[in-house]
Amino acid sequence: MIETKGLIMRFADGSSIRYQDLAFEAGHSYALLGASGCGKTTLLNMIAGILTPTEGSVCIDDKDVAVWSQRQRDDFRIHQIGYIFQDFKLLGDMTVRDNIDILRLEGVDVGNMDALLDRLGILRLKKRRVRNLSGGERQRVAIARALIKNPPIVLADEPTGNLNFEVGSAVMRQLIDNLNGGTLIAVTHDDRLSGMFDHVLDMNQVARGEATA
């Protein structure tokens, strides 16, 4: 269970976002919808422990990650969270295989890489450099890198934004079908895809931007 309470993110320029309290249950999938700039990525980054909320708490299984040290949060994220970033954050000069293999340095077992790449339709790209791949191919590499650890929490920031509807819905179905009692929180702009989720959260209603602090 992931619970946020009283979350406020205030940026250096004085603007801020205030969130309604949210709860994400284990075993459930959540689609986040909302206008560009309403605060979806910021929310995922606070849950992932990449951004520290200015106020409020993010409790994961009753532990408040917002008060942990950055080291503890990084450690938790590495082992418990699969994060598919909006901008992928892949290493372009490295091959698909090496982008995933590198997780071994963090103690991740990458033994089932081929089966996962095959399921995502990118096994044949394994030895290609990421910078030479198309947007949709890169997106699926980012998904593979997040799923290889079988994480109990998957945060997916528009994971199918570069894929056509057919491939996108198949990939989204894989994310949802692989929950295994975990939690999936996925940003999507596609109403046809949000219908596949257990819950749909309209962030336009949940996050309120404030121009000045």
Ligand X SMILES: Nc1ncnc2c1ncn2[C@@H]1O[C@H](COP(=O)(O)OP(=O)(O)OP(=O)(O)O)[C@@H](O)[C@H]1O
**Residue 41 interacts with Mg ion (CB under 5 A)?**
yes
Nearer to ligand X, 121 or 136 (CB): 136
Of 7, 24, 30, 40, the one binding ligand X by CB under 6 A: 40
Q: State the DSSP code for 182.
A: -
Cβ–Cβ under 8 Å, residues 48 and 77: yes
Nearer to Mg ion, 43 or 125 (CB): 43
Spell out, one character per residue from 78 to 117, where the chain touches Mg ion: x when CB under 5 A holds, - when not: --------x-------------------------------
CA–CA separation, 190 vs 105, rounded Å?
36
Among the listed residues 80, 71, 70, the one whose alpha carbon sits nearest the alpha carbon of residue 150: 80
Nearer to ligand X, 17 or 50 (CB): 17
Q: Which residues of 135-163 are buried (b: 16+ CB within 10 A; e: fewer)?
A: ebbbbbbbbbbbbbbebbbbbbbbbbebb
Which of ligand X, Mg ion, none does 140 bind, CB closer than 5 to 8 A by kind? none
> Minimal distance in Å, beta carbon 36 to Mg ion?
7
What six digits make up the tokens of 124?
């044949």
Of 15, 112, 204, 205, the one binding ligand X by CB under 6 A: 15
**Residue 41 interacts with ligand X (CB under 6 A)?**
yes
Burial class of 76 by CB neighbour count within 10 A (0 to 12, 13 to 18, 19+):
middle
3-state secondary structure of 76: helix
**Residue 188 interacts with ligand X (CB under 6 A)?**
no
> Minimal distance in Å, beta carbon 17 to Mg ion?
12
**Residue 42 interacts with ligand X (CB under 6 A)?**
yes
For ligand X, the binding residues (CB under 6 A) are 11, 13, 15, 17, 34, 36-42, 86
